[in-house]
Structure 1
Amino acid sequence: MASSDASPSIGDLHGKDFDRFLSSVNSFGKYHKLVLAFVFLPAVLPGSFHGFNQVFLAAKPQNFWCRLQNTSSMPEVVLTGAIANLSTATTEDQKHCTMPDTAANAPSLWSNGSQMLRPEGTNSSSVPCQYGWEYDRAFYNNSIVTEWNLVCEKSYYPTIALIVLLMGATCGTPLFGLIGDRWGRKRAYVICMCIAQTAGIATAFSPDFIIFCVCRFFVGATYPSAWSLPFTLSMEMISAKQRATFGTAASIAYCLGSLVVVAIAYLVQDWRQFALATSIPLCYVFLSWYFMPESARWLLSRHRVDEVEAFFSKVAKCNKTEFNTDLLKGILRDNTSRDISEKENYSYWDLFQTPNMRKKSLLLCAVNCANLTVYLGLSYYSPSLGSNPWISYTLAALMEVPAYVLVYLTADRVGRRLPTVVFLLVGGFVLLGTCIVPTSNSTTLLVLGLIGKLCISTSFTFGEIYEQELFPTVVRSQGSAFTQYVSNACACVFPVIMYLGENYVAYPVIIFGILSVAAGCSALFLPETLDTDLPQTLEDGEKFGENMPWRDVFRFLPRRPRDTASETVMETRPKGTIVRTNL
């Protein structure tokens, strides 16, 4: 970092990339700390609010039974026992979804106000519930399941609602990625939040399940981008040394958001009020948007030199550093004359035009597919693993905190690649271990699920950092959006996987374990990005990690510059052509 009383010379800065002259005005000074803490960290919270509130909007009570006609005067505990005594059902589904045909005349069987008796000779056959259902409200008071009776033959409706949410993410993510690269990260974020807030508030007024799904589709179209856009913008305004630190801080903020969601759900147990309580307070983001800077890297890639200069002037003034304005303008104009700006508009096709970019894009898709599917799966399924859904969900969310601390402690020491591989493999094998645990042992299942959640949260964070460091600036937002698009498309199957838990509680966890192990093996073929500058152009992105030898595939620790003579740096020749030279 530059000192406050030293101004870099032309020899120091000329021809160096964005990270070099970012350091000249202090790449992590007062300005960056204030903006990151009070603008960008709050900006990632809506992603967790809108992403996880459906856990409780569509919460299913642990127990329910057929409602009897004219039984309002019966104590609930006696009524529940009455149905059990009358029913001849042999399966859990039958116990919840059928009633004895004599129950239509249940009041005539009421004796002494204390028990339900079966008269001799009555028909004991069962029929579907005739008068609706009564629900055990020990944990959930009112959700869409209890209000619209989404049980028995409609038990798959909450699964459909979750699939619709993820289908929205699949459709919306590439759109906002395109907007972010074409018209700026800041503008894309405000459009995203306008849609998210409108759909989130409209959810509370849904008159039926169809309208609810429509609202959730638009919420789903925005919540991944509500996280990724401010995250991308933040990573582009800080240097390599601070990326892991901020990635950890952003992930912890996201985790705190999910904990706030469960706290609100516990206090506000009516799903309509809960939908409002997790949407209206998020309107603060429109105030923070006013103070949100546009990405200087993106502005540079769009030839907007004057705005880049204004950004650095503001940063230097706040950080109390000095730099030569004419020198900076010359450097920026020199950079815009390079092939960084030869092309006005980039598309998703640019991710696949060259072999190395194509390989890295597909590998990132594979890793992030598993990360997202398993992370969301364990987050949504955790209430089913323990005896108390509130405690299970809270513990699963809390497991993310030590995961992010692990990221902070290891990212700048052992790199990104090794932890990603290790935590995916370890987490996968732990989840596979649930296949030997009896379903009655809910505590052991919960513990194994929590360890898996810790591992997948760690690998997820490394995957997010990986995305920002492997994709070049000109397609970074689209690259991140593409991996999210594929990940969300694959994650659409996790509600179906969760539905398998209706038959055997460990089925979903075992499948999540298989996905984690497969992704861990795929991550071996990604290059290490520790202590590297963010690539700016497509050429930079193609050359980074090109022709990766097998010894690097199985290398456990990253190579440092002092460990090899083949490290390369970017150098600019007088005509602005980029070449690579050996140190």
Structure 2
Amino acid sequence: MGFEELLDQVGGFGPFQLRNVALLALPRILLPMNFLLPIFLAAVPAHHCVLPGAPANFSQDMWLEAHLPRESDGTLSSCFRFTDSQALPNTTLGGEGQSPGELQGEPSTVPCPQGWEYDHSEFSSTIATESEWDLVCEQKGLNRATSTFFFIGVLVGAVAFGYLSDRFGRRRLLLVAYVSALGMGLASAASVSYIMFVITRTLTGTALAGFTIIVMPLELEWLDVGHRTVAGVLSSTFWTGGVMLLALVGYLIRDWRWLLLAVTLPCVPGIVSLWWVPESARWLLTQGRVEEARRYLLSCARLNGRPVGEDSLSLEALSKVAAAERVVRRPSYLDLLRTPRLRHISLCCMMVWFGVNFSYYGLSLDVSGLGLNVYQTQLLFGAVELPSKLLVYVSVRHAGRRLTQAGTLLGTALTLGFRLLVSTEKGYWRTALAVMGKGFSEAAFTTAYLFTSELYPTVLRQTGMGLTALVGRLGGSLAPLAALLDGVWLSLPKLIYGGIALLAACTALLLPETRKAQLPETIQDVEGKSALSSLQEEQMPMKQVHD
């Protein structure tokens, strides 16, 4: 008897599983609120050099015209000012056929020697406007780098939590993730320097990686095959809720320190909720911890109203299941590459996850140039994710996981490509394409979590998710830096985002289909071989069950 038969006895979908999904909703809400936080946290408002000593008979516009050069597009410079020796004569003489700020010869300019003045109408403060930080102009790369460092932390955390949760359990490591995220989030909000902020945000990303790696498998390992899809899509809607909630919280809280506190403090009720979150009985059996698994299985049966007595789940019966699934040695990342089929799956999944993350965060963090303010854009980007969930739910059930993954990535690439062909004058078309691209990108993300969780066996599921998420977060960390390439060519970032998404779509077609497939429990199940020691033996097909 395998674990699927045990789950069928106690109920593979019922109040127990629904409670589990509800308890694990909070991490899914907190993830986008932290991952997309730079939209508000690192926003750069309109700014110009500090220009002290404006005469009383000069208006603000005249004073700026007299002291600030113009960029090639005709706007006043945000990063330079005329030298006083050239600008001040024009403020007093002004006339004789010259407009304010117009100088004879080639005027000399200097970077803002006394700092910047910022427009506080939209944000009262961001890390870019923080006193003595001034992450604008020559320092704008440091502003973008905060997102990169954060995702590097997520990348490292994906490795650590994937490996450790396979060794020490999902529930225990989820507690570590909650506590670490709370502590580092509070430290970030109290940062007194840019260096301190970068370090604490990087460590926050490391902690939050635990949410990305643990939550989905902890849900799926309590679900039967027939309800994995609906539960996966349902739980992913909490991410969308977090995206939309971030727009509201960002609108209500305009100071970056208080905003950071607002997205950190919900970790406290999350820690308390772990009292009711069950450990994975499937994982416990693979570790030979039969008594603990039995206790959770009985609890599941009682809550689901299944008439299962304690004798029906005897220690002897569970010991036989555990003996068949027990891990002979601890899992490692090398196990993902030792055998041919797992190696193929791992390499393809890494490319898919890189493309999904790279294009998703490239689209999500670019909320400018759409004719809407940042709050409206964020809300619209969140709202479009809801129909994308419906698209995923319908598609994975009828077209399968593989075609859904490839199709959504292809849709992302095409919308990015079409945006390059639409002129800036057609603002509504550009906005519509951006929203469609965001929807396809979110659909690809939703499918990737579900698809990858089903490809790896139980004994390596967390490790496999950790490896693929590692590569995915590498894509997420590079996405903000790729946006800086607009200084080389304005369309280059979108071209790169779309090209990577297209490559990932082609790679997804190389993966095996998992629709109607029983979750693999051992490496042998994935390889389809009677013995791992004989890699040349003929492969056997994976066991199939009806959806």
TM-score norm. by structure 2 comes to 0.90
Kept in 2, the 8 Å contact 1:396–1:450? The answer is yes
One of 111, 115, 119 as aligned partner of 1:136 = 119
CA apart distance, 1:354: 0.3
1:335 alignment partner AA:
V
Q: Which residue of 2 aligns with 1:569?
A: 543
Deviations 1:303-361 (A, max 9, x none): 011111111111111122122533423332112222x2151411111111100000001
Deviation of 1:71 after TM superposition, in Å, equals: 4.0
Corresponding residue of 1:97: 79
- The AA in structure 1 aligned to 2:50 is R
Q: Aligned to 2:64, which of 83, 98, 102?
A: 83
- Separation in 2, partners of 1:243, 1:74: 71
Quote the offset at 1:500 in angstroms: 2.0
Question: 1:126 maps to what in 2?
Answer: 109
Matched residue, 1:335: 321
The 3 A distance-change label for structure 1 pair 348 and 219 is same
**Which segments of 5 or more consecutive residues in structure 2 lack a partner in the other structure?**
530-539
Pick closer, same or farther for the CA change 1:118–1:22 going to 2, 3 Å. closer
Change (3 A) 1:380 1:423: same
Contact 2:455 2:514 (8 Å CA) reproduced: yes
CA distance in 2, matches of 1:390, 1:503: 29
Q: For 1:360, which of 334, 345, 358 is the aligned residue? A: 345
Q: Is 1:219 the equivalent of 2:201?
A: no
AA aligned opposite 2:264:
S
Distance in 2 of aligned mates of 1:364 and 1:186: 25
Which segment drifts farther, 500-509 or 139-148? Answer: 500-509
For structure 1, which segment, 128-137 or 292-301, has the greater mean C-alpha deviation from structure 2 after superposition?
Answer: 128-137
Asked whether the 8 Å contact 1:44–1:254 carries over to 2, the reply is: yes
The 2-side partners of 1:331 and 1:110 are apart by 95
User: Which of 152, 162, 165 is the equivalent residue of 1:177?
Assistant: 162
Matched residue SS, 2:266: helix
Q: Provide the C-alpha distance between the structure 1 equivalents of 2:465 and 2:55, rounded to a whole number of angstroms.
A: 56
**Secondary structure class of the residue paired with 2:525:** helix
Deviation at 1:126, TM superposition (A): 2.0
Q: How many residues align?
A: 528
In the superposition, the TM-score normalised over structure 1's length comes to 0.85
| Partner AA of 2:247 in structure 1 | V
2:537: which partner in 1? none
Tell me which residue corresponds to 1:278.
Answer: 263
Task: Classify the secondary structure of the residue corresponding to 1:493.
Answer: helix
Shift of 1:121: 7.5
Q: 1:292 to 1:202 in 2, by over 3 A?
A: same
Identity %: 28
Change in CA separation of 1:248 and 1:68 when aligned onto 2, cut-off 3 Å: same
CA–CA distance in 2 between the matches of 1:193 and 1:43? Answer: 9
The DSSP-based 3-state class of the residue aligned with 1:274 is: helix
Instruction: Determine which of 35, 38, 44 is the counterpart of 1:60.
Output: 44
The question of 1:27 aligning with 2:12 is answered: yes
TM-aligned CA deviation for residue 538 of structure 1 = 0.9
1:51 equivalent in structure 2? 35
Q: Which moved more, 1:146-155 or 1:325-334?
A: 325-334
Deviations 1:389-420 (A, max 9, x none): 22222211221111111112222222211111
Q: Does 1:323 align with 2:305?
A: no
User: Does the CA contact (< 8 Å) of 1:372 and 1:488 recur in 2?
Assistant: yes
- 8 Å CA contact retained: 1:316, 1:323: yes
Which deviates more from structure 2 when the two are superposed, residues 164-173 or residues 475-484?
Answer: 164-173
Q: Structure 1 residues 496-505 or 529-538, which shifts more?
A: 496-505
Cα deviation code 1:196-251 (max 9, x no counterpart): 11111111111111111001111111223213312210011111111111111121
Report if aligned partners of 2:152, 2:477 keep a CA contact under 8 Å in 1: yes
- Structure 1, unmatched stretches of 5+, are 1-14, 545-565, 572-583
* Cα separation, 2, equivalents of 1:66 and 1:235: 55
Report the equivalent of 1:551.
Answer: none
State the AA in 2 paired with 1:360. Answer: I
Retained in 2: the 8 A contact 1:101–1:123?
no
Change (3 A) 1:444 1:176: same
Q: Which amino acid aligns with 2:457?
A: P
The secondary structure found in structure 1 opposite 2:257 is helix
Aligned residue for 1:550?
none
Find the aligned partners of 1:320 and 1:241 in 2 and give their Cα distance.
19
Give the 3-state SS of the residue equivalent to 1:99 in structure 2.
strand
Question: Which region of structure 1 is more displaced relative to structure 2, 274-283 or 120-129?
Answer: 120-129
| Shift, 1:494, TM fit | 1.0
**1:65 to partner: Cα distance:** 1.3
**1:81/1:433 Cα in 2 relative to 1: closer, same or farther (>3 Å)?**
farther
Question: Do the aligned residues in 2 keep the contact of 1:299 with 1:305 (CA within 8 Å)?
Answer: yes
Instruction: Tell me if structure 1 keeps the 8 A contact 2:66–2:87.
Output: no
Q: Compared with structure 1, are the counterparts of its residues 434 and 108 closer, same or farther at alpha carbon in structure 2 (3 Å cutoff)?
A: closer
Change in CA separation of 1:437 and 1:569 when aligned onto 2, cut-off 3 Å: closer
1:574 is matched with which residue?
A: none
Structure 2: how far apart are the matches of 1:525 and 1:229?
A: 26
Q: Quote the offset at 1:474 in angstroms.
A: 0.5
Going from structure 1 to structure 2, the CA distance change for 1:370 and 1:72 (only over 3 Å counts) comes to farther
Secondary structure (helix, strand or coil) at the match of 2:420 reads: helix
Aligned-pair Cα RMSD in Å: 2.7
Give the corresponding residue for 2:495.
510
Counterpart amino acid of residue 50 in structure 1? N
Corresponding residue for residue 532 of structure 2: none
Distance 1:105 1:360 in 2: 64
Q: Is the 8 A contact 1:150 1:157 kept in 2?
A: yes
How far apart, in 2, do the equivalents of 1:236 and 1:98 lie? 58
For 1:296 and 1:73, the matched residues in 2 are separated by 76
Contact 1:66 1:83 in 2 (8 A): no
Deviation at 1:568, TM superposition (A): 5.6
Alignment of 1:527 onto 2:508: no
